[in-house]
Structure 1
Amino acid sequence: MSNIQPSVAKKTIGLLPNLIFMSRWLQLPLYLGLILAQCVYVFHFWVELTDLIGAVFGNASSLEHILDAVTIDGAVRPTKLTEATIMLVVLGLIDVVMISNLLIMVIVGGYETFVSRMNLENHPDQPEWLSHVNASVLKVKLAMAIIGISSIHLLKTFINANSYDVKTLVAQTGIHITFLLSALAIAWCDRIMTATQAGQDH
């Protein structure tokens, strides 16, 4: 008996389907633009951190910049570096880091999901979440990242609660709760879809 297996004819993709499929590369400039936005955030982080360190060591211009950055319109401007002021600046730095993390998830996860594989399976620095990323997982992770960013903004508002009216505080709290409910809804829909898919496979 011959061991030669019959050759499987390679399926040829038509011109129009191939053009449509190749159009995914139009997203590449978008991801490159997000990388540039990441660079802007790195620069902003460094400027804020430098000013904070300079203010701690008594640099007058750094102190002025920090106080201007944390002063709410219509509120009394602080005259020195206080614990609350330092906390607001640090929360701002954390906010930048979390937004930067969000950018990384969008850039890496979006490129891997919608444009092309990066073949990072054997790379020692491959993010753990990237090994099982898909559109549903990416949406859930982005929703959780947005909730984290919203939490930081809400905390900054509560620290300066005396500078805001009740309407603003209630509105920001409501928006944050809306983000929470939206993330729960997305996660629940993803769970239902996963369970349905698992049932079909069996």
Structure 2
Amino acid sequence: MNTTLTRRRVSAALAAAALSVSLGALAPLASAHEGDSTFGPGCASVPKEGAGSFDGMAKDPVATAASNNPALSTLVTAVQKAGLVDTLNNAEGITVFAPTNEAFAKIPKADLDKVLADKATLTNILTYHVVDEPVEKADLADGSFKTLQGGMLTTSGSGDSYKVNDTAAIVCGDVQTANGTVHIIDTVLMPK
């Protein structure tokens, strides 16, 4: 695999993680607008207008879109520390399973600080949240997807209720950015 592709995949993964954090924090702020394809209880908290709204995020690549949402600030910080911003912003057709700030808060602070200080481990975790293909709601019922990290993610569920690896709930799914799809999740995924 060439270095540029690897960097893009890593950046995409980190941006995805950042986005999921932001979106989770926004869950109680606003309601999704009619006619969009987003789903999940957390979508109601996304602002109705501005850079952090669904319309605003659709205009920006993943990492930039995440940076416009305060609820994804921990993910954005992680993506920046791992050096994945450009990778995520330049990748095309990716899917990011983005943990919310609350998802990161489930990790003991000492453990999170240790991971944030270890670029290799951080990159490994963040790229596990990124899939190098579009994954839409219709693909989530019984899915299995290879991540940029090299491991596999599984998804299951129906209606508007889906899980990733049987541990993380998708709180707001099918959020579109200029270069990919984001599914905001309530738990940070750990590669095996």
TM-score, structure 2 length as denominator? 0.23
Greater C-alpha radius of gyration: 1
Higher relative contact order (CA 8 A, sep 6+): 2
Greater percentage in helix: 1
When normalised by structure 1's length, the TM-score is 0.23
The structure carrying a bigger strand percent of its residues is 2
